[in-house]
Chains A and B, each alone.
Chain A
Amino acid sequence: MLLYTLKRLALIVPLLWGISLVTFTLINLSPSDPAEVSLRINEITPTPEAIAQMREELGLDKPLVQRYTFWLSNLIHGDFGTSYVTKEPVAQEILYALPTTLALASLSLVLIVVFGLSLGIVCAIYENTFIDKAIRGFVFFFTAMPNFWMGLLLIWFFAFHLGLFPTSGLENPSGIILPAITLALSYVSTYIRLMRNTMIESKQELYVLYARARGLKERVITKHIVKNALHPFIVALGMSIPKLLAGTVIVENIFALPGVGRICVNAIFSRDFPMIQTYILFMALMFMIFNLMVDVITRVSDPRLRRQI
């Protein structure tokens, strides 16, 4: 198991290198000249002299290969570069915004787990009854709504009408609740359905039949079914965490949260290459880490998988 984990950890390095190469090349193929965009963002007329000066300042006057090696060597030394727009270190900008995104994603995750798991179990137990259909219909309805609309409806009802929350911002800590619900709603139905379907499938398994034949109580049997249905749930959840982190931009915009999503979208619009590259690398790293974590957890919890190593 330890060997497996170490092997997977070692694989992260070449993978990240590959990703860095691809993102660097692709981003630099963008038709807009970042020097010009940087001038425009700062409302400076991009005259040929100003462009030349900016290109030199941003190091864009050097060949692509040289720029890549320079960037990579800095990266290895922990220097992620300086934003073309704000002139602040990229790592500092991202770290400044990260806590908001992390708080949002964490609370969403809690909601997804609590509601995905509990409602999924309820649906499976009450399979095809009114409760099952009502829950699924309800969730289907809310998941089908686009994020931004859902967010606005929640603000309108809970913040404006009932006055339970602030409409936006984080001046009041409760400001995180509505955005977390908005973000969680689009995921919850997937997990309810996943839990429900896996449990229903498990009900047909032989071990359930034997358990019943042995006269075990329904509560104990359900416990076993839930435990077995948890694996796909955990796997899917593990991959949803980085998705949650990366998918906050719309919610951050609607609820005026100063998170990483907004920084990234602004960086894309203003061709802030160092920021975009760092963000992509960070997200790639998140996907790899959570993928690894899920694999390790499932192997630890399922002896059958351990034997396959």
Chain B
Amino acid sequence: MRRGLQNLLVTGLMVFTLVFMGCESKPVSQKENKKELVYASTKDIRNINPHLYGGEMAAQNMVFESLVINTPEGIKPWLAQSWEIQNEGKTYIFHLRKDVKFSDGSDFNAEVVKKNIDAVLANRSRHAWLELVNEIIGSEVVDEYTYKLTLKNSYYPTLTELAMTRPFRFIALNSFKDGATKNGVNSYIGTGPWILSEHIKNATALFKANPSYWGEKPKLESIKWRVMPDHQTILLALQKGEVDLIFGADGDMIDIDAFKVLQKEGKYTTLLSRPTASRAILINTKQPITHDIKVREALQHAVNKQAIVEGILNNSETIAKTLFSPTTPYCNVKLKEYAYDLKKAGSILDKAGWKLDEKTQYRSKDGQVLSLRLYFNANNAQEKTISEYMQSNLKDIGVELKIIGEEKQAFLDRQKSGDFDLQYSLSWGIPYDPQSYISSWRMAAHGDYQAQLGLEKKAWLDKTIQTILIEPDEIKRQKLYDEMLTYVHDQNVYVPLSYSRTKAVFTPQLKGVSFNPSQYEIAFEKMYFE
């Protein structure tokens, strides 16, 4: 009996092992000719309708194109080969390329441009964040390859916003559903260098090179977008050679520690973009304690940014002295610097009447303890670590910081309600910074708006932002930016921490990896294997 069982067990184990051994004799990724790039993303591409916001921007950017594009050197022609700005910046006439076709063979012309822009405008409330949508009052076909856009005001970021990944991109009329796109589309036919040829939800998406692409054709034949929700699995897949590229910002694709390890190992190529978005702590000027500008000033001196950038962010980001990096358009403004100085922070609080209680080691005034609440997204490990570090920073000056991690939606609900002393803030990066980001400060749904409500000149601030956006004169506009940014900086509404950077990790055989100005786009068309 026992011998029989033993035999059974051994045989069972052998069969099991043999079945396993036979399962995969060669790694999936051993591509014969390396014409396919495998990109790992934690998110599925979802619905890539370019006029809506449900899909991954990097995927939308692969298939759909815009009239003009944002480059580090400024706006450049794309589907429009040239344009004229008339009527003091209120009229834009675009001369379209004549050699562009959609991947289904249909023509790209002024009629298509008009119908696409009209489809976006038919859904104005969905695009409220984008001021350009509110500014457009006329959309006309001049001739087959000339299109005219008329605006209410001379809205200066017009070309920048037309170049954004969404919503002003062009989808073939055959893809429209009942003459519109707001309720979905029939297919994803664009003019871009890639065609979405297969999509298995939450698993993979296959983009094939567009053979009839009007521009420089991609060197790769296809891009496989693999959805892998777990960062560690992505790293193991990269090491095994199943994945060629990891790309992303703000720890959403690759965490900073892993990035540093891979960088040190030297087996993979690692790249960091120029500073893109601003990471800061938002101080609510409407809350009882933080309403006092002196308390806000003390906080500026109490946070050790260098330690955060070196110790927590592993030097993958740069220290921020001002809310926007000086490389952001219109933001190279001379502003006073706040050095990390605990003594100074302490003395500011002393002068403001917040006296240190030797027993508790916390400050208080009129019986009220100097206690603040900092909320962060509980799923973001990095924010948690920074919060904990700031807690110890503030304790050094006698400020009690309660740190509360919340599930993302609850965190965003709180942002809207304004029920916070301190909260994390991350701008959207170039090309959205500064104009779209400051434009959002005027909307009640944003934490920035709520945090600024206690400012004496909040109404002036909102009005100035509105004026900036429609000021046609460059010099006057810069002057307004100077005033606005100086006011916000001097009022200590933000404790700037760092400027985030987009990160890329890839196999050494992959060449041509670069960063588009927008952190949300990936220039797959420039990549190739050597």
Contacts and interface: CB of A to CB of B under 8 A. Distances in A.
B197 interface: no
Contacts of A257: 203
A163 B228 contact: no
Interface residues of A, number: 62
Interface string B1-32: 11011001100100000001101101110000
A166 B5 contact: no
B273 interface: no
Given A50-B128, A166-B28, A254 B53 contact: no
B233 A254 contact: yes
A87 B55 CA distance: 13
Interface stretch (A40-48, A138-146, A281-289): A40-48
Given A31-B413, A258-B201, A47 B128 contact: yes
Interface string A134-160: 000000000000001000100110111
Contacts, number: 147
Interface string A246-286: 00000001111110001100000111000000000000000
B201 A40 contact: no
Nearest to B410: A32
A113 to B, nearest CB: 12
A257 to B, nearest CB: 8
A219 interface: yes
Interface stretch (A69-77, A171-179, A190-198, A298-306): A171-179
Given A50-B125, A164-B20, A169-B226, A45 B443 contact: yes
Contacts of A209: none
B204 A171 contact: yes
A21 interface: no
A236 interface: no
B240 A32 contact: no
Contact of B445 (A32, A45, A177): A45
B1 A253 contact: no
Contacts of A121: 5
Given A42-B52, A118-B12, A156-B236, A166 B407 contact: no
Interface string B390-412: 00000000000000000111101
A160 B236 contact: yes
Contact of B47 (A86, A163, A262): A86
B306 to A, nearest CB: 33
A37 interface: yes
B347 interface: no
Q: Which of A44, A48, A49 has the most B CB atoms < 10 Å from its CB?
A: A44
Nearest to A87: B184
A258 B242 CA distance: 18
A200 to B, nearest CB: 16
Given A46-B445, A47-B128, A253 B409 contact: no
B230 A253 contact: yes
A168 interface: yes
B369 to A, nearest CB: 28
Interface in B21-61: 21, 23-24, 26-28, 46-47, 52-54
Contact of A255 (B1, B4, B5, B233): B233
B245 interface: no
B274 interface: no
A98 interface: no
B2 A164 contact: no
Nearest to A173: B23
Interface string B226-242: 11111011001101101
Contacts of A160: 236, 239-240
A186 interface: no
Contact of B409 (A32, A43, A167): A32
B408 A269 contact: yes
A155 B228 CA distance: 13
A258 B202 contact: yes
A22 interface: no
A125 interface: yes
Contact of B1 (A46, A170, A219): A219
Nearest to B129: A45
Contact of A53 (B20, B125, B202): B125
A103 to B, nearest CB: 13
A32 B410 CA distance: 7
Contacts of B444: 47-48
B313 to A, nearest CB: 24
B37 to A, nearest CB: 15
A5 B320 CA distance: 70
B446 interface: yes
B24 A165 contact: yes
A166 B410 contact: no
Nearest to A161: B240
B217 interface: no
Interface of B: 1-2, 4-5, 8-9, 12, 20-21, 23-24, 26-28, 46-47, 52-54, 125-129, 184, 200-204, 226-230, 232-233, 236-237, 239-240, 242, 407-410, 412-413, 416, 440, 443-446
21 contacts: A31-B413, A40-B412, A42-B126, A44-B126, A45-B445, A49-B125, A86-B47, A152-B233, A163-B27, A164-B20, A164-B21, A165-B20, A167-B236, A167-B237, A168-B237, A169-B204, A222-B1, A256-B227, A257-B203, A258-B200, A269-B407
Given A47-B128, A160-B239, A263-B202, 14 more contacts: A31-B410, A32-B410, A42-B54, A50-B125, A50-B128, A165-B20, A168-B230, A169-B226, A177-B23, A253-B230, A254-B232, A256-B230, A258-B201, A269-B408
> 7 shortest A-B CB distances, which residue pairs?
A174-B23, A258-B202, A43-B53, A256-B228, A45-B129, A42-B53, A167-B237
